[in-house]
Every structure is written in structure tokens, then in C-alpha cells.
Amino acid sequence: MPPRSFAAQARADTPLGPITLAATERGLAGLWFDGQKHHPGTIDAPVDAGQRWIVQALDELADYWRDGSAPFTIALDPQGTPFQQSVWEALRGIAAGRTLSYGGLAQQLGRASAVRAVGAAIGRNPVAVIVPCHRVLGTSGSLTGYAGGLERKAALLRLEGTLL
């Protein structure tokens, strides 16, 4: 895929460390923790913390950090293959305080034999926290694979009241 064109970017501090946000005209396209895998690095877009999608993302995140239960309603515009898009959309259906296994998500998508492909798509999720890939666990309920680091994954699940 060609490099993504963004309309705006911003940086913010969170309880789990600094983040970078990127938006297009259609919605929030990225939210990455500093140092996370697949962070795009330098983003070629103006810094604009007042851009409508960035403002909405920061407002919704502020509500979320209070107790982990606030819903995210922001429009998203992540770049990915049709398969990745379907996985990311399915992730948004996992409610706060709930978890699902990689295999369970693959079954939900009607792709029970594609557990590894589902896991790879989850790993490429460009919108951390808001697209809740942290809610997907290993078959035995173990913490596995989070691009932002397993400590952050555990912290997000604790915030949401999920017992580990």
C-alpha cells in the first residue's frame, strides 16, 4: 500500500504514555503509543490539535481513562486491506470488560481456520485503544501479542475491569 496521507496529527500524554494521533478528513486514522510496533514514525501532516477528529478522539479518550467503560463513537478511517478492515471492525464489537480469544474472533468472522491471519491483522491495528485489540487473548486466556507492549495490554484490561 502507498504511504498514507493525513490531514492532521497531534501528540498527547496518557496514563500509559505519550501517543501520536493522525486523522484524515473522514475520521481518525491512527493512534499509536510511542515505541509501539508498526508506528509509522514521522507523519507528514500539519500538527493540529484542533482538527475535529483529533479533538473528538482526545475527548473520548479522556472519558475512557476515568474507568474504562466510556464508549468510542468517533468515525475511523484506518488504512488496511479488506480483510484487515473486517478484523478491525469486529474488534470494535468486543465490549469493554469482555475478552475474546484469537480463535473465537476468527470463528466470529467465519474464518475459523485463519487464526494466524486474524492475529496478524490484529497486530497491524493502527488505532490502539479505540479499536480494542487489547481485548483479544490467547486460547487459555493468556496475555499475548500487543503491539503497544504486554504491560499496556494488562493495564487496559485492568482499567476495564477484566480479571486476569
Whichever domain contains 102, its CATH number is: 1.10.10.10
Whichever domain contains 24, its CATH number is: 3.30.160
pLDDT single digits (tens) 89-103: 999 999 999 999 999
pLDDT single digits (tens) 41-62: 888 898 999 999 999 999 999 9
Q: Residues near 155 by Cβ (< 8 Å), separated by ≥ 6?
A: 15, 16
Q: Which of the residues are catalytic?
A: 133
What is the total count of domains within the chain? 2
The residue segments making up the domain with residue 86 are 80-158
Average pLDDT, the chain: 93
Same domain, 84 and 144: yes
Answer with the one of 37, 65, 93 that is the final residue of a domain: 65
